[in-house]
Amino acid sequence: MTFMAVNHVLIGISGGIAAYKVCEVVSSLAKRGVEVRVILTRSAAEFVTPLTFATLSRQPAYTDADFWQPINGRPLHIELAEWADVFLLAPVTANTLAKLAYGMADNLLTNTVLASSCPILFAPAMNTTMWLQPTVQENWQKLLKDSRYTAIAPTDGILACDAVGTGRMAEPEIILEYLESFLFTQGKRDLQGKKILVNAGGTREFIDPVRFIGNPSTGKQGIAIAKAAIHRGATVTLITTSNSPLPMGEAPPSVRVVRTSAEMHQVMLEEFPFADITIAAAAVGDVRSKITSDRKLPKSELPLNLELEYIPDIVADLSKRKRPDQILVGFAAQTGTEQEVMVAAKDKLIRKGLDAIAANAVNSSQTGFGTDTNQATFINKDGKFLSTPLCSKLELAHRLLDFLL
């Protein structure tokens, strides 16, 4: 994460076994220089002690016993509420979910929620049967309608009670990504109601079942774009060459895994008509072998002169089918000088009939394939452009979405 060091994150913990996962969240934030403060309910302190969170955050951890102990002469819940840039509630139990839905304030945590005005990120966790109760679902849906709240939906799996189903709190990595997005967007959900189609990863053009022509793309940037869109409330479809799980968000995303350019082309054509914004971040192959085998070829049978053919251009094909209300965005992964990268990107923008393009140099150890950071220049068809600083791929994704909106 590259833009969190000056921010204040307040974390409220309810009494569930998933409280142990929040230790990693607090530790990770503190190690990155983020100021973190923690509030525990009385039952939360039965699972993880306040001392643990105080040690991990390098700050005091507060409980109901501290309610009437002022900070700087001011009530504790007011001071904490005004201090926070983002309020993370994790885990949120059925009891706390009900209190939040109805504006109840009977402990330090819920009083601080009502006294705060910052965006709130909340991650429920409970037994599957409890989660599926109509009253719990009603409270869940009620909070989703509140613009201050953004949900990190529970996932499926084996729960602490040995039940199998929905109710697991999101993993720390997912929560940290949401926080990174929140601290950049301030919790805005400006893509609610929008359908975003993204492709990601490098295609493989097979010569036989074990040999292929490919490229080093890992799909990290495309996956980051899909995550950023989910964090902002979009309904997302990701077409990827790797099976990459996405956060559930408010609308469950669709992930379709492909291998070859032909498979990706077909699936993109199927999904494109439903998309408001399509971002083609995949590194699709340019050529493939004219002859392929359905069995592994012995070394002696491998052709030393491989006859190739061009692969149909997916983005150019989508451009021909684009409606006026759709936005189509491409990526230009180039090598060379900054000027050479820009010239190639502008050529692709015009030649392929795109609405915008992201030009990025891949001949750098910090912006090449497989890196966690990236830098790009965005250009639209009207000539507007924006260059980003070197940043995380999630931040770059948000900057691209801001450029398009």
How many domains does the chain contain in total?
2
190 in any annotated domain: no
Check residue 6 and give its pLDDT: 55
Measure the CA–CA gap between 360 and 338, rounded to whole angstroms: 9
Q: Which of 23, 118, 161, 391 is catalytic?
A: 161
Please check whether residues 167 and 34 belong to one and the same domain: yes
Mean pLDDT for 80-99 is 96
* Cβ pair 180, 29 in contact under 8 A: no
Residue in the block written with tokens 């490098």: 202
Is residue 174 pLDDT above 90, yes or no?
Answer: yes
| Residue 193 backbone zone (phi > 0: left; psi -120 to 50: alpha; other: beta) | left
Domain boundary among 153, 185, 217: 185
Nearest one of 304, 302, 283, 280 to 353, comparing CA atoms: 280
| pLDDT number for residue 158 | 80
Point out which residues pair with 87 in neighbouring strands: 10, 120
- For the segment 85-90, the average pLDDT, to the nearest whole number, is 95
Question: Which residues span the domain enclosing 365?
Answer: 195-404
pLDDT (0 to 100) of residue 3: 46
pLDDT at 4 over 70: no
Inform me whether the pLDDT recorded for 338 exceeds 70.
yes
Quick one: average pLDDT of 156-179? 87
**Rounded mean pLDDT of the chain?**
92
Same domain flag for 225 and 168: no
Backbone angles phi, psi at 36, to 5 degrees: -125, 135
Which residues are CB-contacts of 19 (< 8 A; sequence separation ≥ 6)? 13, 40, 44, 47, 48, 91
Residue 153 clears pLDDT 70, i.e. is over it: yes
14, pLDDT greater than 70: yes
Phi, psi (rounded to 5 degrees) for 249: 60, -165
pLDDT band (50, 70, 90) for residue 367: confident
Residue 3 placed within a domain: no
* Average pLDDT rounded to a whole number, residues 311-316: 95
245: pLDDT strictly greater than 60: yes
Range 189-198 average pLDDT: 94
Whether 164 and 252 map to the same domain: the answer is no
Q: Return the CATH number at 108.
A: 3.40.50.1950
Which among 229, 285, 232, 241 has a CA at the least distance from the CA of 267? 241
pLDDT band of residue 366 (cuts 50, 70, 90) is confident
- Same domain for 276 and 338: yes
- Decide if 2 is inside a domain: no
Contacts for 32 with CB less than 8 Å, ≥ 6 apart: 1, 4, 5
- Mean pLDDT computed over 244-253: 79
Q: Sorting pLDDT into bands at 50, 70 and 90, what band is 374?
A: very high
Task: Give yes or no: residues 343 and 255 share one domain.
Answer: yes
Q: With b meaning 16 or more CB within 10 Å and e meaning fewer, what string describes 253-282? A: bebeebbbbbbbbebbeebbeebbbbbbbb
Whether pLDDT at 226 is above 70: yes
Both 105 and 231 in one domain: the answer is no
- Whether residues 178 and 203 fall in one domain: no
Residue 137 lies in a domain: yes
User: Would you say residue 363 has pLDDT above 60?
Assistant: yes
Q: How many Å apart are CA 394 and CA 374, to the nearest integer?
A: 9
Q: Are residues 101 and 250 in the same domain?
A: no
* 288 and 204 assigned to the same domain: yes
Residues 6+ apart with CB under 8 A from 324: none
Which of 45, 4, 47, 49 is closest to 28 using CA atoms?
Answer: 4
pLDDT at 1 over 50: no
DSSP string computed for 323-349: -TT-EEEEEEEE-S-HHHHHHHHHHHH
**Both structure tokens of 232:** 């902002």
Domain boundary among 158, 185, 212: 185
Q: Which domain CATH number covers 382?
A: 3.40.50.10300
Average pLDDT over residues 220-237: 95
Q: Which residues are annotated as a binding site for CTP?
A: 286, 296, 312-315, 331, 348, 352
Of 154, 185, 216, which residue is a domain's last?
185
Higher pLDDT, 250 or 288: 288
Q: Is the pLDDT of residue 397 over 60?
A: yes
Decide if 118 is catalytic.
no
Measured CA to CA, the distance from residue 318 to residue 97 in angstroms comes to 44
Write out the binding residues. 286, 296, 312-315, 331, 348, 352
